Amino acid sequence: MGYVIGIDVGGTFTDAVALRPDGSMVSAKTPSTPPDYSQGVLSAIDLLAAELEMPVSQLLNETDHIAHGTTSSLNALVMGKVPSIGFITTRGHRDSIFIMNVEGRYLGRPQHELQDIMGQSKPRGLVERRLAREAIERIDRAGNVIVPLNEEDARQVIREILAEGVKAIAISLLWSFRNPVHEQRLRELVHEQDPTAFVALSSEVSPRIREFARHSTTVMSTQIGPGLKLYLDDLEGRLRDLGLRGALLVMQSAGGAIAASEAAASAITTIGGVLTGGVVGCAQLAKKLGHDNVIATDVGGTTFLAGIIADGEPVRAAQTIVNQHPVNVPTLRVDAIGSGGGAIAWLDTGGNLHVGPLSAQAAPGPACYGAGGTEPTNTDANLILGILPETGLLGGLRPIRKDLAAEAIRRRIADPLGMTVEEAAAAIYAVQNAQTGDLLRKIVVESGYDPRNFTVYAFGGAGPAHCAAYSAHIGVANVVVPLGPVASAFSAFGLASSDIVLIREHSDPMTAPFDPARVEENFARLEREVMEAMKRQGIRLNRIVLHREIDIRYGLQLEEVTTPLADGPVTAASLEACVEEFEQRYARLFGEGSGFAGAGIHAITFRIRGFGLLETHPVFEPLARAVSPDPSAALLETRPVCLTAGKGFVDTPVYDYHALRAGHRITGPAVIQVPTTSVVVPDGMYGDIDEIGVLSIQTNSNVTQFQPKRSVAG
Amino acid sequence: MIPGSEAFVTRPVDPEALIRSLPSRLQVHTVSQQAIDDLDPLTYEVVRHRLWSVTDEMGETLKRMSGSPIVTDANDFDFTINDEAGQLVQVGLYNTMLIGAIDLALTWTLQNRAVNPGIEEGDMFLCNDPWVGGGLHQNDTVVFQPIFHDGKLFGWTSAVCHEPDLGGTAIGSAPIGNVDVFSEALPTPPVKVMRKGELQHDIVDVWVRRSRVPMVVGLDLRAKVGANTIGRQRLKAVIEEYGPDVVKAVMKKMMNDAEHRLRHKLLSVPDGKWTATGYQDQAFAGDRATHKVVLAMTKTGDRLLFDFTGTDPQAGVISCTLGGCRGGIMLAFLPILCGDIPWSASGLMRCFDIIAPEGTLVNATFPAAINRAPLGTGWMIGNLVAQCLSQMLERDFRFRDNVQASCCGTFDFACVAGTDERPKEPVPFLNVVMETVAGGYGARPGRDGINTGGSFCIPMGRVPDAEVTELLYPLLVLWRREEQDSGGAGRQRGGTSCAVAMTPHGTSLPAHVIMSTSGKATAQNPGLAGGYPGNLGHDVIVQGAAVDAMLARGVIPTDLGELAGEADATQCFATSMLSPGDVLYMNCQGGGGYGDPLLRDPELVARDIGDGLISMAAARDIYGVLFDAEGRVDAPATDRLRQDMRQARLDRMTIGSIIEGRVEPGEGQPVDDNLVIVGDGDRARVGCRHCGQALGDADGLLHVGAVEGESSMAGPIVRSDPHHFVDEEIGFIQHICPGCGTALHTSIAPRDGKQTISGFALA
């Protein structure tokens, strides 16, 4: 065993974690360096080496693998900074990517924008229309060739596209997932004319029925593929020059890694890697702490992300939305449900108080930053309420000004409502907590679970001030705030401790009872593809585990539910059991009695998720034990803090996290000051510090409105 | 009207009077004004947000449980939370027309069901009687329930969706002949489908037995029961947590708040009267007439009046009930006027009154056939309201972002039914073509209309992928595209519409096709401020097209012109056959343009050419833009051509009298892209913003020129002779400034039709 490094390149900071061969960890944080993000990566490795007190070359030489998550591809897509590419689809259907099934007008928009129809528009188009072309060919739903590919015409189309100077072409034909022969031949025809052109086929990137999502997924993958390849080739080259011995891996949206050399070909699977790193890290920690059901909340300065872990497994989604376009590749479900500490409080024209979704962003940031922001934010309210120290954030590195926060709240909220600044700040705090609770409840219930059976994990700088309150709001009894060395680089920790994950899928719509031979054949093919791809990763795997899944739906109903198929031979009996499992899952998700088997049951997409286990075993450094539960020794000060609008300011103990020890119990109301965050333990609750420095808050919530099982049948 | 049928007609009533009229055995929970005033902003916002999440979950439940693509794909459904009097507190964002009818059904139920059989805890009512309320036609079936707390009626929830078929003489319950309601689905006034929390199987059986697709109807019924059940569970949890008085006070305040915000907005725009007239060509199969809806919208202070006096009598299958009329108003009123105000709809509806003469298209009496109400008169009312509101909002620069020319003016309905021979055992299939949802949105003063933006009345609508159509039905989608030249020309171009062509594939038998629509001879999607209408609807069945032979030769057609056979446009109401090798082509309406197309930036015209959204012919003939040999805009030639085109209009124009004098265009208050009011009171004059020509005096009448001709003068948006559909003379009418020839108003309408321009009558 050697070292394992996880590096998470975010928009602002690059975080890194190194696991020693014994599983203990060091972490590092450095500013990201756009546009050349690899600078920041190398700086982070320098810092890790310094922490480990060894030369960089030695660290890299003793590193088994580096798992790397990057937000740069996603940023490029979101900012529209992608090169022009060509697009070829079936004759008669080019406009699919412009019609966008109509839903492109509102897809992925936040709730408040859905009602504002006059504010909606479609994006101008994924591909310039002159570069979006058609090939004369047609395949039908059975995979039969109705019209053979007209190669002469196709060569001309390709010639014209390449003449426009593009270096990459996305090819996505109707029914190609049933029969990819025309897509494959078109790739050959492209390479006849330009052997270096980057070509992505929809039958390889996203072999699922529904051509619009397949087109958009393939096009976006083509737009970021060449850039990702350049970046990774360059980074890997520099790391090798510095002595890297092991593999360079890239994190994917589905929560596992893939070899850098393989990443560009399916670039679209890597765009959510940074978002999911936190969920994977959470799952690792939850396993250690013995929590099966976790709501992972990551609240930063500008975003509030939530993921769910149920029965020890992160909840997955089949689709995400980027720029109002569907991306049909498997992913961990991560919902952006708010705008974090920078969420702006405002009054509508009716004088009603709202918090978010507009954010003060990183610049100018909250009013108290003194960087020109004049809108009151959550952070400003927390400062007024005494939750945040007036001495500044990040241990005083970022000075803040209470007078500016007070002025913003007074002008925008307090004066118009005829309240004091303190009352207004308390109202902002309460509204933020309740709304966060509503949105968390929504995603947990939508995933088919009862929030009362969950533990909330709160990380990120702006979450711990609110987590006990929003958790109590949805009936969660236990809140975990990971503190200590790993907290600040949580996502990087997730990367360092993740496995290789390769997913292959294939749509083959069929009606129950499913034909075992056809199902067997589908899975055999997918298994072959996964195993071959595992070999190409160039990394020694301890073990490979395959999970078989079928997306199933009721004939007349819309929702497909991913259902596992047991290992072993595919038989009529195992498929029946799979259908039974589907019916149970459907009922749990959408309510008892909501499914309708009378209309038939259809299998749509077959999938294998392959895990190449890397078996890293992170060990958390133990915290010294306290002699008694009484934390007075860590008391920093007592200051007036207002946590409940009705109670006003109460003299509240503030503890220094660094002085807390395992076994200390913090009784609310209390604030725990950490350089990176402030944790609130509200009145009537208490929190315990465990042996690795994690804080667990008992909320005493007695919210009872949720039935364990949803029932819609009356 | 049939005597006795008036008992099933609901009229809006004062909610307090309604509550006072209830029998004493029905105890009602309400709160005082004091309780509403005492709400603190924090509690209000927290509970309001919770109520939002309750409706959200109801909608998700309905959508997931429904078995009908009309719900799951087209999103033709909605759901509400109501107070004890049935007032709409919170509504979903799906079919906004339904919102205008739901509260009426609750009013009727309180009036007619409180004594016998009683309104009790555990009840759910089912209703599909459009005169009672709850929907626009019988296919819209609403299920609603009273919610009790401590034995008192606290409020209601409802869920409604369009059922694919509820019986009657025609598939889809949509007969197209000159019939009455007795050929359609049977209207059912509110009946208890659930008592004491138990589904009533006798009622369910009576309900599903009438349908050609009883399984789907049964599933949808369960979906609506499920959505209401979730709504009740969640609402009761909110009541438990915050107390009934607080929750009720929040509900009342939500409506009051919405009302006050809308009144405030209305107060800030000038008073005035705006009118719009729309025509539906054909009201039933074989009809050769147009049927007009007339709207005069008056804004006084903080109120609106929608007056439909002058509207034609009810006719064929296109009329709507009063609930449909309100629904039509809502489809435009909510997004255009209330996009920034929470849709606590009853509060918003307090801000307008309606005059809808009985026995006309907008308030049909029993037993009129009304199966096309939502797509016919209801939709048209929405487009007329949109035109009037847009012209009103244009008067204030702060609201110019909400000005929008008409969107696609209807849904081109086609149902293809036949035999699917792809499975081992052939099975029947029935496909309602959904691509015609993808109409164009209207242009705005600041931007082009959204291409294939969808149907304005169903903001969250969608169309299926071609692969889904081909998976489900024995059809091959030959092409599916944004049709060239379908967006209304203008300084800002209207959004293009979708065209789809399909042929049988996987069946050897002819399929049966029923079609119904309108807007093929007259434009239901006019532009604003001189902009052209979007394309007229154009649907074609090409029999003998021999596409199967073309495909076998390796040829995939992309244009009707490449096909063998006759490509005649189908009538608005038609039945036909589609045999293997034949082609069904449908092109719904595009969005109207904004402003004179001769004022469009030539570079934007060039971009549209590059994108294939307009043809070179349209660029030259409608936009007056010419290109050099390299395809770049030839600016001098374009200027000359545009000057010639304006002169040609002036040469051709007829005019009663020209007002002498000029205004200073830089001064005064803009009315729209072209008109400005200078001075006020008796000295106010209307003039042309482009050339300063005086156009109107204090009498409020505009003196402008008119250029008239065949409707084909409108260019490629018209693809059929109007005489193919109706006997009246339909023409292209363009009103222009007699000084500079700029188009002020452009329409395709009956020649004798009355026109107004941005609120001004013509001299």
A423-470 pLDDT per residue, tens: 999 999 999 998 888 888 888 887 878 888 999 999 888 889 999 999
Asked if the model's pLDDT at residue A152 lies above 50, the reply is yes
Confidence of residue A704 (pLDDT cuts 50, 70, 90): very low
| H or E element in which residue B322 lies | helix B322-332
The amino acid present at A522, given as its one-letter code, is: N
Spell out which residues of chain A touch residue B41, defining contact as CB-CB under 8 Å: 351-353, 417, 427
Size of interface A-B (CB pairs under 8 A): 251
Predicted confidence at residue B43, as pLDDT, reads 87
E strands of A406-565, at which residues?
455-459, 478-481, 500-511, 543-554, 561-565
Percent of chain B with pLDDT over 70: 100
Which of residues A307 and A34 earns the better pLDDT score?
A307
Shortest CA gap A223–chain B (Å): 20
Q: Give the end of a domain, one of B259, B294, B326.
A: B259
Distance (Å, rounded) from C-alpha B187 to C-alpha B129?
4
Distance (Å, rounded) from C-alpha A634 to C-alpha A687?
14
Distance (Å, rounded) from C-alpha A638 to C-alpha A322?
47
Q: How many CB atoms lie within 10 A of CB B422?
A: 16
Asked if the model's pLDDT at residue A673 lies above 60, the reply is yes
On the 0-12 / 13-18 / 19+ scale of CB atoms within 10 A, A540 is exposed
Asked if the model's pLDDT at residue A709 lies above 50, the reply is no
Spell out which residues of chain A touch residue B219, defining contact as CB-CB under 8 Å: 556, 596, 598-599
Spell out which residues of chain B touch residue A211, defining contact as CB-CB under 8 Å: 465-467
Confidence of residue A702 (pLDDT cuts 50, 70, 90): low
Q: Which of A:627-646 have CB within 8 Å of B?
A: 645
**Is there a contact between A174 and B479 if contact means CB atoms under 8 Å apart?**
no
> Which chain B residue has the Cα nearest residue A129?
B611
The amino acid present at B496, given as its one-letter code, is: T
Buried/exposed A367-393: b ≥16 CB within 10 Å, e otherwise: bbbbeebebbbbbbbbbbbbbbbeeeb
Predicted confidence at residue A692, as pLDDT, reads 87
The mean per-residue pLDDT over the stretch A376-403 comes to 88
Flag whether B321 is in a domain: no
Confidence of residue A597 (pLDDT cuts 50, 70, 90): confident
The mean per-residue pLDDT over the stretch B612-626 comes to 97
Q: How many CB atoms lie within 10 A of CB A650?
A: 13
Q: How many CB atoms lie within 10 A of CB A625?
A: 11
The mean per-residue pLDDT over the stretch A668-690 comes to 91
Q: Which of B:76-115 have CB within 8 Å of A?
A: 93
pTM across the whole model: 0.92
* Residue A50 contacts B where some CB pair is shorter than 8 Å: no
* Residue B268 contacts A where some CB pair is shorter than 8 Å: no
Asked if the model's pLDDT at residue A544 lies above 90, the reply is yes
> Which chain B residue has the Cα nearest residue A555?
B67
The mean per-residue pLDDT over the stretch B27-47 comes to 91
The mean per-residue pLDDT over the stretch A322-332 comes to 90
Buried/exposed B267-294: b ≥16 CB within 10 Å, e otherwise: eebeebbbbbbbbbbbbbbebebbbbbb
**If you ran DSSP here, which 8-state letter would residue B497 be given?**
-
Nearest to A714 among B73, B225, B498 (CB): B225
Confidence of residue B422 (pLDDT cuts 50, 70, 90): very high
Percent of chain B with pLDDT over 90: 85
Asked if the model's pLDDT at residue A233 lies above 90, the reply is yes
* Residue A124 contacts B where some CB pair is shorter than 8 Å: no
| H or E element in which residue A437 lies | helix A421-446
Predicted confidence at residue A33, as pLDDT, reads 83
pLDDT digits (tens, 9 = 90+) for B319-363: 999 999 999 999 999 999 998 898 999 999 999 999 999 999 999
Shortest CA gap A107–chain B (Å): 9
Asked if the model's pLDDT at residue A713 lies above 60, the reply is no
Q: What angle do CA B298, B300, B304 make, to 5 degrees?
A: 55
Confidence of residue A710 (pLDDT cuts 50, 70, 90): low
Task: Decide yes or no: CATH 3.40.50 for domain A83-226.
Answer: yes
Nearest to B488 by CA among B463, B524, B434, B435: B524
Asked if the model's pLDDT at residue A558 lies above 80, the reply is no
pLDDT digits (tens, 9 = 90+) for B732-763: 999 999 999 999 999 999 988 778 898 899 98
* Residue B718 contacts A where some CB pair is shorter than 8 Å: no
**Is there a contact between B465 and A210 if contact means CB atoms under 8 Å apart?**
yes
Confidence of residue A70 (pLDDT cuts 50, 70, 90): confident
Distance (Å, rounded) from C-alpha B763 to C-alpha B752?
15
Please say whether the beta carbons of A129 and B482 come within 8 A. no
Query: To 10 degrees, what angle do helices B41-65 and A572-590 make?
Result: 150
In 3-state terms, what secondary structure has residue A509?
strand
- The CA distances from residue B123 to A417, B145, B210, B226, B227, in Å, are 42, 6, 23, 13, 14
**Is there a contact between A95 and B480 if contact means CB atoms under 8 Å apart?**
yes
- Give the residues across from A494 on adjacent strands: none
Flag whether B151 is in a domain: yes
Nearest to A557 among B42, B64, B450 (CB): B64
Flag whether B737 is in a domain: yes
Cβ neighbours for B624, distance < 8 A, ≥ 6 positions apart = B597, B598, B638, B641, B642, B645
Predicted confidence at residue A712, as pLDDT, reads 54
Predicted confidence at residue B664, as pLDDT, reads 87
Mutate to test the interface with A, among B556, B562, B588, B607 (most CBs of A within 10 A): B556
| H or E element in which residue B572 lies | none
Q: Which of B:548-577 have CB within 8 Å of A?
A: 551, 554-556, 558
Domain that holds residue B666: 653-762
Nearest to A306 by CA among A335, A343, A340, A274: A335
Mutate to test the interface with A, among B64, B78, B336 (most CBs of A within 10 A): B64
Shortest CA gap B456–chain A (Å): 9
**If you ran DSSP here, which 8-state letter would residue B334 be given?**
I
> Which chain B residue has the Cα nearest residue A355?
B45
Six-digit token string for A435: 């709304």
Distance (Å, rounded) from C-alpha B720 to C-alpha B715?
11
Asked if the model's pLDDT at residue B536 lies above 70, the reply is yes
| 3-state per-residue secondary structure call for A595-638 | CCHHHCEEEEEEEEEEEEECCCCCCCCCCCECCCCCCHHHEEEE
Regarding beta strands A455-459 and A478-481, do their DSSP bridges make them parallel or antiparallel, or are they unpaired?
parallel
Distance (Å, rounded) from C-alpha A299 to C-alpha A305?
6
* Residue B450 contacts A where some CB pair is shorter than 8 Å: yes
Predicted confidence at residue A708, as pLDDT, reads 37
Regarding beta strands B352-355 and B303-307, do their DSSP bridges make them parallel or antiparallel, or are they unpaired?
parallel
Task: Decide yes or no: CATH 3.30.420.40 for domain A3-76+229-274.
Answer: yes
CATH architecture of A500-613: 2-Layer Sandwich (3.30)
The mean per-residue pLDDT over the stretch A693-707 comes to 72
Q: Which of B:23-42 have CB within 8 Å of A?
A: 40-42
> Which chain A residue has the Cα nearest residue B48?
A435
Flag whether B621 is in a domain: no
On the 0-12 / 13-18 / 19+ scale of CB atoms within 10 A, B762 is middle
Weakest-pLDDT range from A588-592, A637-641, B176-180, B455-459: A588-592
In 3-state terms, what secondary structure has residue A460?
coil
Q: Which of A:162-221 have CB within 8 Å of B?
A: 174-175, 209-213
* Residue B547 contacts A where some CB pair is shorter than 8 Å: no
The mean per-residue pLDDT over the stretch B567-588 comes to 96
Q: Using the structure block, give the residue that is written with the tokens 């528009």.
A: A121
What ipTM describes this predicted complex? Answer: 0.95
**Is there a contact between A435 and B46 if contact means CB atoms under 8 Å apart?**
yes
Q: Give the end of a domain, one of B259, B288, B307.
A: B259
* Residue B201 contacts A where some CB pair is shorter than 8 Å: no
Q: Give the end of a domain, one of B201, B229, B259.
A: B259
Regarding beta strands B413-420 and B77-83, do their DSSP bridges make them parallel or antiparallel, or are they unpaired?
unpaired
Predicted confidence at residue B131, as pLDDT, reads 98
Shortest CA gap B460–chain A (Å): 7
The mean per-residue pLDDT over the stretch A393-403 comes to 81
Distance (Å, rounded) from C-alpha A364 to C-alpha A223?
31
Please say whether the beta carbons of A626 and A663 come within 8 A. yes
Weakest-pLDDT range from A613-617, B80-84, B493-497, B713-717: A613-617
E strands of B290-404, at which residues?
290-300, 303-307, 352-355
> Which chain B residue has the Cα nearest residue A347?
B41
Weakest-pLDDT range from A138-142, A351-355, B35-39, B95-99: A351-355
Flag whether B426 is in a domain: no
Left if phi > 0, otherwise alpha if psi is -120 to 50, otherwise beta: which for A313?
beta
Regarding beta strands A650-656 and A670-674, do their DSSP bridges make them parallel or antiparallel, or are they unpaired?
parallel
Confidence of residue A317 (pLDDT cuts 50, 70, 90): confident
Predicted confidence at residue A488, as pLDDT, reads 63
Six-digit token string for B208: 């599903």
The mean per-residue pLDDT over the stretch B4-28 comes to 96
Predicted confidence at residue A486, as pLDDT, reads 62
Asked if the model's pLDDT at residue B440 lies above 90, the reply is yes
| Overall domain count for chain B | 2
Predicted confidence at residue B77, as pLDDT, reads 92
Nearest to B294 by CA among B220, B377, B371, B224: B377
Q: Where exactly are the structural domains of chain A?
A: 3-76+229-274, 83-226, 500-613, 632-698
